[in-house]
Amino acid sequence: MDVEAVLVGEQTPTERISGSRQLQDPFDELYKGGLVMEPAFDIYLWADMVLYSTRYSQLARTYARNVAGQGWKIMSTIQLDKKTPESLKREVRREVELLKDFYGHPHMRVQSKLFVEESLPEILVKMWIDHDTIGNGYLEVQRDMKGSPNGLWHLPGITMRLRSDLQGFVQRSLGQNDYVYFKRYGDPRIMDCRSGEFVSGRKLKSLKLGDHASEVIHFADYNPTGTYYGYPKIFASECAVAGNRAAAQRNVAFFKNDAVPRMAVIISGGGYLNQASVDRLTEIFSASAKGSALSHRVVVLQAKAGQAVGKPPTITLEPLTVGSTDDASFTKYTDANNQELREAFGLSELHLGTEGSANRASAAILLRLVSQQEFGPSIQSLEHRINSTITRDLGAQHAVLELIRPKVTDPLDDAKILQRMMPGGALSPLDLRRWLEKTLGFDMPPYEGEAWASVPFSLLQTLIRTKAVQLGPQLVEDVNSSLQELTQFLEDAEDRADDLEG
């Protein structure tokens, strides 16, 4: 018996999911003229990859927020005590307040004709996302008439290129015809931001203050094969992002086009459907014939008998998609790709908030390793670049910017350790205050000039009882009360930690 298959409801792929946008580089003319250096990869293509990969975008943002988005504080580089001269103390306080005013002042940026306030963490996080995704991050610094920095902004990495003469940078955005020139940070010469020309003499006198070029600090992610540009962090894992995108497109196309027909019409007994029945089925399963208004339709199928003589032909409608579209394809493949992307960033599943197989002990080890091997070096590098440039030029010699590190230890574990250290006399009020500042995330008033704050608790209690330390009756009472409260807190924390472990 001949069997003929008629596919009903087949759709052509008229709607494709667009991949990365192929954008014309606005610097093509400058490349051809040899005025700027052309990167070894398509910056716009790599920037677009973040838009088409959920995991890649999450990794880049998570990494940047752990490096630059946890907050900041200004720290003195010298320890102040009673022996410190008053003049030096005043100078340190002045520098601390100066840095707090600059780094804490909202930096205004004109964006889409609106003034947008950006905090220091926002600026640094955006820069670091550029640093990881396209290999290059840029900070713009503006100076006042005295030569001191008075403005800090993020420059989108896709809009920046390096000049071939290494004298600075050029910015141009899509859809804009004008170029904006910047000089390297620390270059004392005056540059015209419209032409990139260094001016002096009469030209300098006629140059408007608003046309003075700002300075740029360039952060490039080092690659052994690179020259002046950095490379994306996942450059070697490009196929992982492309593979995940292709798998997602394949699954969507599968569902849209019904790669497995929804229903088979089985005719037994030597018959076949007449053309009218085929046309009617086509109409019923077509997209234009769907909807709740057509839910009570009735289809009548008529089968013609073949040449065989016997029972009349029978028609059976057999669904084929039951259970076949409940899950997507390439699940293991995308899991492997996601793991490769995590390895490129050096992050674990815990940093993404996804469920992993790590228990409490191994999770703590993973967090500590990532902090030591990834976040720590990146934070130190960023701090060094900022303090050796902006902080230095602000005139600070005894104070620096310090980025707050991500928390990798459990406060309950720390409290348990501290509680065991207290009876041995290894802790002072100053030690506990520093721990509380780190745990709670804010600075507490310092014990300026108070030597007793550095004395271990056990010895301090003895000195107070023997009145070797003249603190005053009220202060003695306050210290004893604080000791009791702190001891009770640590004991409660230890009990809670034991309950959690149990």
pLDDT, position 334: 86
Following CA atoms 431, 432, 438, 440 in sequence, which dihedral angle do they give, to the nearest 10 degrees? -160
In 404-499 the beta strands, taken as DSSP E runs, fall at none
> For residue 368, which phi and psi values (nearest 5 degrees)?
-70, -40
The C-alpha atoms of residue 327 and residue 64 are separated, in whole angstroms, by: 34
Degrees to nearest 5, angle at CA 431 with 426 and 437: 150
The C-alpha atoms of residue 423 and residue 421 are separated, in whole angstroms, by: 6
The C-alpha atoms of residue 16 and residue 335 are separated, in whole angstroms, by: 24
pLDDT, position 292: 59
| 197, two tokens | 């020309």
pLDDT, position 11: 43
Query: Which stretch of DSSP H or E encloses residue 156?
Result: none
The C-alpha atoms of residue 62 and residue 349 are separated, in whole angstroms, by: 11
Who contacts 277 (Cβ-Cβ below 8 Å, separation ≥6)? 300, 301, 302, 303
| Other residues' Cβ atoms within 10 Å of the Cβ of residue 45 | 16
pLDDT, position 486: 61
pLDDT, position 174: 64
How far, rounded to the nearest angstrom, does the alpha carbon of residue 247 sit from its chain's CA centroid?
A: 24
**Location of structure tokens 């003499």:** 201
The residue among 450, 448, 446, 447 whose CA lies nearest residue 470 is 450
pLDDT, position 351: 74
Sign of CA dihedral 57, 61, 64, 67: negative
Kindly state the greatest CA–CA separation across the chain: 120
pLDDT in tens, the chain (502 residues): 444 555 554 443 333 333 444 557 889 889 999 999 999 999 998 998 998 888 999 999 999 999 999 999 999 998 887 788 989 999 999 999 999 999 998 776 655 555 678 899 999 999 999 999 999 999 999 999 899 999 999 999 999 999 999 999 999 876 677 899 999 999 999 999 999 999 998 899 899 988 999 999 999 998 888 779 999 999 988 888 888 888 888 777 777 665 566 677 777 766 677 777 777 777 776 655 555 566 556 666 666 666 555 667 777 777 765 555 555 568 888 888 888 998 899 888 777 766 666 666 666 777 777 788 889 899 999 999 999 999 999 999 999 999 998 877 666 666 677 767 666 666 777 777 777 776 666 666 666 656 667 777 777 666 666 655 555 555 555 555 665 666 666 666 666 656 655 5
The C-alpha atoms of residue 24 and residue 78 are separated, in whole angstroms, by: 53
Q: Does the model's pTM come out above 0.85?
A: no
DSSP state at residue 387: I
